[in-house]
Amino acid sequence: MIQKVLVANRGEIAVRIIRACHQLGIQTVAVYSTADQASLHVQLADEAICIGEPSAIKSYLVKEQILSAALMTGADAIHPGFGFLSENAQFAKMCVECGLIFIGPDSSVIESMGDKANAKATMIQAGVPVVPGSDGVIADCEVAVKLATEIGYPVLVKAVSGGGGKGMRLAYNEEELRTGFVAARQEAQASYNDDRVYLEKFIENPRHIEVQIMADQHGNVVHLGERDCSVQRNNQKLIEEAPSQFIDEALRIELGQAAVQAAKQVGYVNAGTIEFLVDKYKKYYFIEMNTRIQVEHPVTEMITGIDIVQTQLRVAQGEKLTFSQADIMFKGHAIECRINAEDPTKNFMPNPGLVNGLHFPGGNGVRIDSGIYAGYKILPYYDSMIAKLIVHAATREQAIAKMQVALNELIVDGVETTVDFQYEVLSHPIFKQNKHDTGFVSQLLEE
């Protein structure tokens, strides 16, 4: 049984994990950079260890420091959260080598799914539809040009190690492909230290729909339904909801089965997400698998009543899932807005600084996951997401209304945030009528 968990993360997700541990009677160790000494996760954990300087490459990304902190404090497991080392196969492996439980899938699975070209090849074997494109890595621009002529423009050059929408270039013709190919490789090299890219058909006006799966060490794999994450800016999610009202019950079942099949194919254990694009003809295509907890997991928790982080901890200590597929029921509708300390009038430039005053909304079906408090100084070194506002109501319409009221009530005094922008998106007739796709926000910003 896990007695003590080291949380290898910061911000709201570290707080989220610490809470789940304490609810299960598990002790917690926080790690923090010198800049994070006053952060909430440090205050909530039972113990805290400083692991280095503010820059993540000198703290939250230093595997040895984190492992030393775990061993020194007698932790028996590490929860990586999302971002940082959460999808670093080598880190997962090192945890196990140090006699620690890594709360996530086996390192070999992280490695094979982290290579997006390889992940697609694996999905083809599992019989899951993938976006048409190259068979693996394309090293030569001429090969890319030839393939693009075959599959037809527009095409997307994507980084094999991609994440957060970086290393992606769209091309409508050969000229754009030639420049995009070089640019994508350079960006991929700079962002991931891996310049390998692959080619994919660009699916026009798709919805991003992903399926949450949960698997135990005894071969049980269950899906917890889908999330619709089609409100995006620069290929990054802003608003997520569950269930998706773009798909019907038949497609819901099919996507769920495809996700379970995909997880079984790779011997998946713990929480994971299979991401799909769904086009206007309701054809679906696998794009990638995330082998970790996701930012948007709360919307699934709201409609299923299952605590995903607690389930991660239980599965990691060898427990069987306490629910089967037949037990999973979806109740009502949930929406999440990501609140970022960014200035929408300045192209969403990060806006760190002192939070002078703070008021969080509340009430029935309103949830806030956050790592900030009044008097907290938002730091410039890390991701600009400062809170997630999640609402749950009987219908989508009611959830939108509840979110509008909650956003109106939310005050973060001292820094610019995306609260008003989120309100605008949420109140737009296209969103309200559920007629948006992944290009909606960029169209809105051009208006």
Catalytic center residues: 292
Q: Which residues are 366's β-sheet partners? A: 391
We find the least distance from the C-beta atom of residue 83 to ligand ADP, in angstroms, to be 12
Q: Judged by CB under 6 A, does residue 400 bind ligand ADP? A: no
Instruction: Report the residue from 127, 152, 164, 357 that binds ligand ADP according to the rule CB under 6 A.
Output: 164
Q: What's the alpha-carbon Rg for the chain, to the nearest Å?
A: 21
Beta strands in 106-235 (DSSP E): 155-159, 168-171, 197-201, 207-215, 221-233
Give the nearer residue to ligand ADP in terms of CB position, either 36 or 226: 226
Which residue lies nearer to ligand ADP by CB, 156 or 393?
A: 156
Interaction between residue 203 and ligand ADP (CB under 6 A) = yes
DSSP 133: B
Give the binding range for ligand ADP (CB under 6 A) out of 35-43, 143-151, 196-204, 319-327: 196-204
438 binds ligand ADP (CB under 6 A): yes
Instruction: Choose which of 120, 169, 208, 402 interacts with ligand ADP (CB under 6 A).
Output: 208
Residue from 136, 163, 267, 353 in contact with ligand ADP (CB under 6 A): 163
From the list 235, 261, 404, 434, which residue makes contact with ligand ADP (rule: CB under 6 A)?
235
Window contacting ligand ADP (CB under 6 A); options: 45-53, 158-166, 354-362, 416-424 = 158-166
239-258 residues near ligand ADP, rule: CB under 6 A: none
Q: What totals of helices (H) and strands (E) does the chain contain, helices first? A: 15, 22
Buried b (16+ CB within 10 A) or exposed e, 239-259: bbbbbbebbeeebbeebbebb
Rounded Cα distance between 93 and 119, Å, is: 19
Question: Applying CB under 6 A, does 200 fall inside the site for ligand ADP?
Answer: yes
Smallest separation, CB 163 to ligand ADP (Å):
4
Q: Which of 275, 300, 325 is nearest to 128 (CA)?
A: 275
**Torsion 223-226-232-237 (CA) sign:** negative
Closest distance to ligand ADP from the beta carbon of 439 (Å): 8
Q: Which is nearer to ligand ADP, 162 or 298 (CB)?
A: 162
Q: According to the binding rule CB under 6 A, does residue 165 interact with ligand ADP?
A: yes
Asked if residue 212 lies in contact with residue 274, where contact means CB atoms within 8 angstroms, the answer is no
Residue 277 DSSP SS3: strand
Residues within the interface to ligand ADP (CB under 6 A): 131, 156, 162-165, 200, 202-203, 206, 208, 232, 235, 275, 277, 287-288, 438
